[in-house]
Amino acid sequence: MTELAGKLAALDGWRRLALAMVLGALGSLAFAPLYVLPALPLAFTGLVWLLEGCPTWRMRALLTWFFAWGHFIAGLYWVGFAFFVDAEQFGWLVPFPVLGLPALLALFPAACLALAWRADWPRGPRVLLLAVGWTASEWLRGHVLSGFPWNEIGYVWGFSPAEMQAGALIGTLGLSLVTVAAAALPALFADRGRAAYAWLGAAFAVLVAIWLGGLWRLDSADEATLPGVKLRLVQANIPQKQRYTPKERQDRFERQLQLSASPGAQAITHLIWPESAIPTFIDMDPTPLHLLEDMLGPGRLLFSGADRRSPLDDPDIKVWNGLQVIGDKGIVATYDKRHLVPFGEYLPMRPLLALIGLNKLTAGTLDFSTGDSTRALAVPGLPPVRVLICYEDIFADEVWTGGERPGWLLNITNDAWFGESSGPYQHLATARFRAVEQGVPLVRVANTGITAIVDAEGRVVSELGLDRTGVLDGGLPRALSVPTPYARFGDLIPLALAIAACGLAIVTQRKSRAGLTSGNAARMG
């Protein structure tokens, strides 16, 4: 291992950068749906040894940028699929999301690791600082501009409900910090000293403690569902290319009506349709609304994605990507999406970019407007629900921002944009972590996606897979009786963990330096 570490550190030029890019791409295999977890220590251990051959911060920043670029290209390649839905208009733009977006995201770890790295420190403290730097970069890319915290390293534990439970205490960011540190610490095998084994033993002990704590938490979990609630989740599985003509819109509406009325419908208390499922502005067009009211009958409710627009006499026309709750007497409640997708739902810098012929990916030339509330909706017969439309579920610190605590989360989405790729699987994994962090169940309904019911511990109770047409019937799992620590304190907890890791690194480095000084003095004496 010492010889291998030396060879990697001695690499220079394009070989060093190419290997960094390959290692970054390798690390992405640890995410859903593959969950090749051993790829992560291979990637981060190699990164540590490569960084040891970079004498300046500029070289370290460049090396880390190539590592992160490869990591994000391999992990986010599926974003380009959306540009092929209307390939004639948007196909030529594919290199920008597939290569350009990862290039921009890679700037965050490049800057953070260049600042966090300490070339003259022992490997153990240095690795801790690397983990802090990488986690800081995840926080930054989740907040700068509109934010895009997709595939934080903590999500690699989506295959293990036991390890996921740490999210209830330290959040996904905290789990990222622990995971990156554990993945990079095998670099200490090159030291062959007792200190190296102590660091590795400590990392192993932390992961085992998280696993055992998770098992205990799962063993004591309440698996009951709310009495008197029977959900039907409708996944119509309509290809994205078949959603825009009037006939296609009507066919989509009728298919969802048929699925909603399929066998077993009489026992259903609440129907849920996916994002943009209703093809018209139903608050202005009574025909589909009356059809829905008749289908529901007394006592039943429908949650459905439905675009909404400002009144016809409003000179400043606005449209919202929203959800509406419908009963037999009309619309009961409304939620408008607050965190919109750049280029998908609105065109940033529209006056400039429109001049070169760009537009948003969704139909129409009018940008969606931003909703004005993140509060939970009060709905008859159910606990308060926090609605998360599409990728709103990737923003952990926006799920509960005040007001009444939600009793469940509802994520409606349309992952048909991304075809048979890693994207829908990664999206489900991300949503499950929101349930763990908040200690409340999650109901996820996709046009195709994956549709699923998830309990308050993040376990998938039942699901309807990608490219499947049908309905998923089930109860609503109970929420935890009290908020989790992460739900109460949010990112203050991973921040405290990062400060503690920095403190441990500093103390260990000083002890190591003091030991070297006393050892040198003894030899001189």
Query: For this structure, is 138 an active site residue?
Result: no
The dihedral formed by the CA atoms of 264, 269, 274 and 278, expressed in degrees to the nearest 10: 100
Q: Which of 275, 345, 392, 398 is catalytic?
A: 275
- φ/ψ of 148, rounded to 5, equals -155, 75
Helix extents (H) in 416-491: 423-438, 485-489
Strand locations in 189-277 (E): 231-235, 270-272
CB atoms near residue 252 (< 10 Å): 19
Strand partners, 452: 444, 463
Q: What is the DSSP pairing of strand 270-272 with strand 231-235?
A: parallel
Is 275 noted as a catalytic residue in this protein?
yes
Q: Which long-range contacts (CB under 8 A, 24 or more apart) does 40-44 make?
A: 40/153, 40/156, 40/179, 40/183, 41/182, 41/183, 41/184, 41/186, 43/67, 43/71, 43/183, 44/130, 44/180, 44/183, 44/184, 44/187
Nearest to 490 by CA among 173, 240, 265: 173
Reply yes or no: is the peptide bond before residue 33 cis, omega within 30 of 0. Answer: yes
Which among 152, 390, 392, 437 is annotated as catalytic?
390
| DSSP string computed for 385-415 | EEEEEGGGGG-GGGS--SSSPPSEEEEEE-G
Burial class (CB in 10 A: 0-12, 13-18, 19+), 257: middle
3-state secondary structure of 446: strand
CB 42 within 8 A of CB 25: no
Catalytic residue among 112, 337, 392, 457: 337
User: How many residues are recorded in the chain?
Assistant: 525
Strands (E), 21-104: none
3-state helix, strand, coil in the chain (%, to 5): 55, 15, 35
Strands 385-389 vs 408-413: parallel, antiparallel or unpaired: parallel
390 among known catalytic residues: yes
Beta-carbon-side half-sphere exposure of residue 381 (alpha carbons within 13 Å): 19
**Alpha carbons 455 and 474: distance in angstroms, whole number:** 12
Q: Give me the active site residues, please.
A: 275, 337, 390
